[in-house]
Structure 1
Amino acid sequence: MKKLIFLLAIGLMGQGAFAQDKALMKVYADKTQSPITYRMNHPLHAWTGESKDVTSIILTDESRKVIDKVAVSVKVASFDSQNANRDSHMIETTEGIIYPNISFASDSIKNLNDKLKVYGTLTFHGVAQKLFFEADKKVVNMKAEITGDFSVKMTDYKVEPPSLMGMATDDEIKLSFKVVY
């Protein structure tokens, strides 16, 4: 019995030696190659706005093939729809002066070859909501390129959809991204 307990203890200690955390490194996004785009619809027209001022970091292995965590932040005022009046109205509608940033932090990421299943929290307009989305991943010249899209409802984040000529936009904002690390 003592031998069995001793062997079990040695076995468990040996497993602990192999269960050490893998070495992860922080990799920052290349802002020059990493836009986030939103798309909105109004009964009279549709438009997009893009931010090229995306701050993001991942925790990854040295090959950049396995991503453990991601954090992203973008300034509300950095989105450009090629219409200064509309951009100003969006900052007003989303209270971009009071809530200047939109952020996402992952809780977990499932790496499935060239696909990612990302679970985390999106904070917009001071409201944090759980979010899930899928993304595509490829490694080119030792850089990880992550692309994907998802939708959010403005009312889920306590934002009233803006209106033009007495007609409100759709509640849904479609977001797409390409982030290069």
Structure 2
Amino acid sequence: MFKILVIMSLSLAAIAANLNVQKSEIIAHTEVFGDNEINPSTRNVKAQLNIDKELESIKGRIYFETISLISQKEDRDKHMYELLNIEKYKTISFDITNIIKNETNYTINGFLTLNGLKKDISIKSNIEEQDNQILLSGNFSFNLTDFKLEPPTMFFLTVRDQIDINYNIKLNKAK
């Protein structure tokens, strides 16, 4: 019986493929009331993802180091790093638990981990497959206060609670 289980496990592993990040960009957007907007981004996205046959079988983690978020204003980046407590929480991650195909796109369900807190989140996403490449793209929003982060105030200026995320992640299949 043990031999059969080992053979079945090995054959299932042979079907699955790892997905490696080839090219990526995640852009966060918020606004400072009475001033302008803040748009930090990162291209240093990493993944521990795998896929069986269908796109709906993708599971695993997409993450980046928090310090890799950079905006056009270095002084605001320092405040952002302080707010995000980068000394204690070095990464921001999204764990994909399941993907559901809709008529025109996909719903990706999983957990967003920020500030040491893990929250359920559902994201509408475009997922395209060509050759051995998969492109994930879309956007979603969350509130800082959902992750026990208080939007900062600077003098008479207040940062908006809502953060809008736009992402494009190109993955390669590797066996």
Q: TM-score range by the shorter chain?
A: 0.7 to 0.9
Residue pair 1:108, 1:118 contacting (<8 A) in 2 also: yes
Alignment size in residue pairs: 160
Residue pair 2:57, 2:98 contacting (<8 A) in 1 also: no
CA RMSD of aligned residues (A): 2.2
Deviation at 1:136, TM superposition (A): 0.2
Matched, 1:40 2:21: no
SS in 2 for 1:26: strand
Match of 2:45 in 1: 54
Residue pair 2:56, 2:98 contacting (<8 A) in 1 also: no
Residue pair 2:56, 2:99 contacting (<8 A) in 1 also: no
Structure 2: how far apart are the matches of 1:55 and 1:21? 24
* Residue among 5, 9, 18 paired with 1:26: 18
Report 1:115-134 matches (<5 A): 115-134=105-124
Rate the CA distance shift 1:168–1:86 in 2: closer, same or farther, 3 A: same
List alignment gaps of at least 5 residues for structure 1: 1-16
Match of 1:80 in 2: 70
List alignment gaps of at least 5 residues for structure 2: 1-7
Q: With structure 2 as the length reference, what TM-score do the two structures score?
A: 0.83
Match of 2:4 in 1: none
SS in 1 for 2:81: helix
* Percent of aligned positions that are identical: 21
SS in 1 for 2:67: helix
Q: With structure 1 as the length reference, what TM-score do the two structures score?
A: 0.80
Rate the CA distance shift 1:66–1:107 in 2: closer, same or farther, 3 A: closer
Q: Which moved more, 1:45-54 or 1:66-75?
A: 66-75
Match of 1:169 in 2: 159
The one-letter amino acid of 1:95's match is: N
Q: Kindly name which structure, 1 or 2, has the bigger radius of gyration based on alpha carbons.
A: 1
Structure number with greater CO (CA < 8 Å, separation at least 6) is 2
